[in-house]
Amino acid sequence: MKISRKKFIHSSLIAGSALGLNACVWPAKPEKNKPSGSIVNQPIVLSTWRFGIEANAEAWKILSNGGSALDAVEAGVKVPEADPKERSVGYGGRPDREGIVSLDACIMDHLGNIGSVVCLENIKHAISVARAVMEKTPHVMLAGKGAQQFALEQGFKLENLLVEESKKEWEEWLKKNEYKPIANIENHDTIGMLALDQFGNLSGACTTSGMAFKMRGRVGDSPIIGAGLYIDNEVGGATATGHGEEVIRIAGSSLVVELMRQGYSPENACKEAVSRVVNLMNRRNKNIKDIQVGFIALNKAGEYGSYCVQNGFNYALKTSKEEVLIDAPFHTKIS
């Protein structure tokens, strides 16, 4: 049986991940003018962190039934949004320093349609509100009270998003009142999801409650098109997780897509974006040990990759053959 290069690479990556190796082994040097590869009529979905496994499974129900990448990413990220045990997305998310859960989300489709909400309160499915902004308004971003008012007009229901556990953590945090985000999954992990459907179309979604105990009104990268998420259907898509301030500083996801346009493999594009994060940290005399930023990327040919600042970030991948969690390669090992 003839195995296509792409299938071979994917199988190797997955085998590598099963062996505990960093899964992505794209060439170290950027491949400028690399052929874009064949359009694979095989759906694929990838998303950030461990909870991406369940989210991908939901997205897969749509992708495997011939549905669109847009429907898939929305349905997928709604899974952690609805789960009170996931403490950094949607219902159950950790609050800001005033004790209020506020959500950021955005969505982008293959035509360049975009929608986003920032500082949305008391509405669980921020991603669906972002999609409604995209489809039902002349705008691309709604914030705070206006976003909530729009959501209510669209039939979304007000809910208390602060679960008892998050409330207790916040009360504990208030005792010291010290703002120090922890680098990996302890107090923030956004879900960013990228999907390619059977029509060869890409879409992405990104949703979060942001940094735990953030200042009221703080907005991270996740709802900002070009920072937390970017899709160009001619090239590929990228999404980010981690310290939003650092992702915004380099217009991260847009940068990853532009690098792929220049011929970088998905992993090398993520790697270059990470090195820009690190460079800017160095220039400002900041310690990269204090931050985490991770990117995942998917190109039009169905090739994927990831890179992060420090060890600890992983992402979930689902295809017709595989369902795996992959450790992202990293810039610096921090124990």
Catalytic residues: 190
Nearer to ligand SD4 (CB atom), residue 221 or residue 232: 221
* Minimal distance, residue 276 CB to ligand SD4, in Å: 16
Nearer to ligand SD4 (CB atom), residue 96 or residue 232: 96
Identify the bridge partners of residue 241 per DSSP, sorted by sequence position: 294
Q: Could you say which of 47, 208, 265, 319 contacts ligand SD4 (CB under 6 A)?
A: 208
- Show contacts with ligand SD4 in window 45-64 (CB under 6 A): none
- Show contacts with ligand SD4 in window 159-188 (CB under 6 A): 188
Q: Could you say which of 17, 56, 122, 222 contacts ligand SD4 (CB under 6 A)?
A: 222
Nearer to ligand SD4 (CB atom), residue 32 or residue 284: 284
Q: Could you say which of 197, 221, 267, 272 contacts ligand SD4 (CB under 6 A)?
A: 221
Could you tell me the two tokens for 242?
Answer: 């981690």
Nearer to ligand SD4 (CB atom), residue 122 or residue 184: 184
Instruction: Give me the count of residues in the chain.
Output: 335
Q: Could you say which of 96, 109, 189, 232 contacts ligand SD4 (CB under 6 A)?
A: 189
State how far the Cα of 254 lies from the Cα of 239, in Å rounded to an integer: 9
Q: Which residues contact 21 (CB under 8 A, 6 or more apart)?
A: none
Number of residues counted as binding ligand SD4 (CB under 6 A): 13
Q: Could you say which of 55, 114, 117, 211 contacts ligand SD4 (CB under 6 A)?
A: 211
Query: Under the criterion CB under 6 A, does residue 93 sit at the interface with ligand SD4?
Result: no
Nearer to ligand SD4 (CB atom), residue 62 or residue 212: 212
Contact track, ligand SD4, 234-253, x by CB under 6 A: -------xxxx---------
Binding site for ligand SD4 (CB under 6 A): 188-190, 208, 210-211, 220-222, 241-244
